């Protein structure tokens, strides 16, 4: 499906041939040292990417990113907590739902048009035990100031949980610099792998707070004890783990995480600059490198644009949901992106608007 299409959707994203080739191979048996080494290697690579503090551990779950979000709430929060949940869109709202389902007292902190640099002034003045945030609120293309939030959680002695699913690899995240306790990642966004693997990085502070849970599959303690020997309690997404190992090697080979972020920024800047002559304006003031959210300024329906790009140009971008389907569409810069590849979308947009690109 869509094999001859150009992919600018925010997950799954454009994958590189190298990673696709790994996915085409026979899935190997995994209860052995060879595979344990893959797991160790993936854990080490992830810890490096987020600059996790010494003694941090990674949980690998065979599930989509939402399971990462939910399992973190289940293993780290309970009815004695009071979580401050940043809600700037669909994914923030999902964390509120998860807290409610698991009876975790929470404050739904609805935010708009701010990256929370001034969180101290904006946050409700109650006492909170933890802060939960989606670093990049993918539903609107909005990036929060992780370091400002980290100062706030440090000053107020709060646990700091970050869903970094849609900004890892393309945008900066440093657990030590920003005092982050938990990072949630997922395979199908910046890592540019197939969906099916979610990863949770736990700092030593978070590890100490782990509690008993009423769940077999989402019991982090089980994952940690199996992790000692490079294994998971249940069958992992073996092939995606092999692809993750290859991807982590690829990131290092291409100059490391700093270089990955710089390349993503270059492509995002190039795209934003290139479309300046078109009746489209950016929908957020605080965009990540990962994505550009656009609003048509000529009254055209965003959904019509998305459909036309797919049908006439074989270019896939993503509509917003609900009320915003006619006003906002999103362009991902995650994955195996280059300026040349992005030119296909830019040229399509210029052709669509019958404007010549110079
Ligand atoms: C994609 C995404 C998720 C995970 O969604 P799944 O469909 O469960 O993989 C979670 N948080 C954010 C911010 C995302 O962009």
Is pLDDT of 358 > 80? no
What residues contact residue 113 under an 8 Å CB cut-off, 6+ apart? 285
**Confidence (pLDDT) at 3:** 87
When pLDDT is cut at 50, 70 and 90, the band that residue 2 belongs to is: confident
CA distance 325 to 327: 6
What pairs with residue 110 in β-bridges? 87
Look at residue 131 in the predicted model and tell me its pLDDT.
Answer: 98
What tokens does 222 get? 């089980």
The C-alpha atoms of residue 358 and residue 272 are separated, in whole angstroms, by 15
**CATH number of the 6-13+256-352 domain:** 3.90.1150.10
How far does residue 231's CA lie from ligand 1's centre (Å)? Answer: 25
Neighbouring C-beta atoms of residue 282, cutoff 10 Å: 14
Region 262-278: mean pLDDT is 97
What is the C-alpha end-to-end distance of the chain, expressed in Å? Answer: 33
Taking only Cα atoms into account, the Rg of the chain, rounded to an integer number of angstroms, comes to: 20
Closest alpha carbon to 41 in 223, 219, 246: 246
| Cα of 355 from ligand 1 centre, angstroms | 35
Q: Span 185-202, mean pLDDT?
A: 98
Which atom of ligand 1 is found nearest the CA of 137? 13
* Model pLDDT, residue 121: 95
Please give the pLDDT value at position 356: 93
* Residue 138 Cα: closest atom of ligand 1: 15
User: pLDDT, tens digit, for every residue of 107-161?
Assistant: 999 999 999 999 999 999 999 999 999 999 999 999 999 999 999 999 999 999 9
Cα torsion angle, 86, 92, 96, 98, sign: negative
89 in contact with ligand 1, CB cutoff 6 A = no
Dihedral of CA atoms 172, 178, 180, 183 in degrees, nearest 10, equals 0
Distance 218 CA to ligand 1 centre (A): 17
pLDDT band for position 282 (cuts 50, 70, 90): very high
What is the mean pLDDT of the segment spanning 85-108?
98
The domains of the chain are located at: 6-13+256-352, 17-253
Q: Are strands 106-110 and 57-62 parallel, antiparallel or unpaired?
A: unpaired
Q: How many angstroms does the Cα of residue 184 sit away from the middle of ligand 1?
A: 10
Mean pLDDT of 25-29: 98
The CB of 181 under 6 Å from ligand 1? The reply is no
Helix H or strand E segment including 185: strand 182-186
Residue of the nearest CA to atom 4 in ligand 1?
Answer: 65
Do 6-13+256-352 and 17-253 fold alike per CATH? no
CATH class of the region 17-253: alpha beta
Question: Band of the pLDDT at 59, cuts 50, 70, 90?
Answer: very high
- The stretch 270-275 carries a mean pLDDT of 98
The more confidently predicted of residues 184 and 358 is: 184
């Amino acid at each position: 499906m869509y094999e001859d299409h150009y992919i600018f959707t925010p997950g799954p994203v454009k994958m590189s041939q190298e990673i696709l080739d790994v996915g085409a191979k026979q899935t190997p048996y995994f209860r052995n040292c060879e595979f344990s080494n893959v797991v160790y290697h993936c854990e080490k690579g992830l810890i490096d990417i987020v600059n996790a503090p010494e003694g941090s551990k990674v949980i690998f779950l065979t599930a989509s990113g939402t399971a990462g979000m939910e399992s973190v709430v289940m293993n780290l929060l309970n009815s004695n907590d009071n979580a401050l949940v940043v809600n700037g869109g669909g994914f923030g709202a999902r964390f509120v739902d998860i807290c409610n389902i698991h009876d975790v007292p929470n404050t739904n902190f609805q935010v708009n048009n701010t990256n929370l640099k001034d969180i101290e002034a904006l946050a409700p003045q109650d006492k909170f035990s933890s802060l939960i945030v989606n670093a990049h609120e993918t539903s609107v293309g909005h990036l929060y100031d992780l370091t400002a939030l980290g100062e706030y959680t440090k000053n107020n002695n709060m646990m700091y949980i970050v869903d970094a699913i849609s900004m890892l690899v393309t945008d900066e995240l440093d657990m030590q610099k920003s005092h982050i306790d938990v990072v949630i990642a997922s395979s199908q966004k910046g890592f540019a792998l197939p969906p099916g693997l979610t990863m949770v990085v736990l700092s030593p502070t978070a590890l100490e707070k782990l509690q008993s849970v009423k769940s077999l599959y989402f019991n982090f303690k089980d994952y940690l004890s199996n992790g000692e020997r490079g294994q998971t309690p249940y069958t992992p997404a073996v092939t995606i783990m092999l692809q993750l190992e290859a991807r982590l090697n690829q990131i290092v080979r291409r100059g490391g995480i700093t270089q990955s972020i710089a390349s993503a920024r270059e492509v995002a800047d190039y795209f934003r600059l290139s479309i300046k002559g078109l009746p489209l304006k950016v929908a957020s003031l605080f965009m990540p490198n990962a994505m550009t959210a656009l609003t048509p300024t000529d009254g055209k329906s965003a959904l019509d644009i998305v459909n036309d790009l797919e049908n006439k140009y074989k270019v896939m971008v993503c509509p917003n949901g609900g009320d915003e389907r006619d006003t906002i569409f999103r362009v991902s810069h995650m994955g195996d992106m280059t300026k040349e590849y992005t030119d296909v979308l830019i040229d399509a947009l210029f052709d669509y608007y019958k404007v010549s690109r110079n």
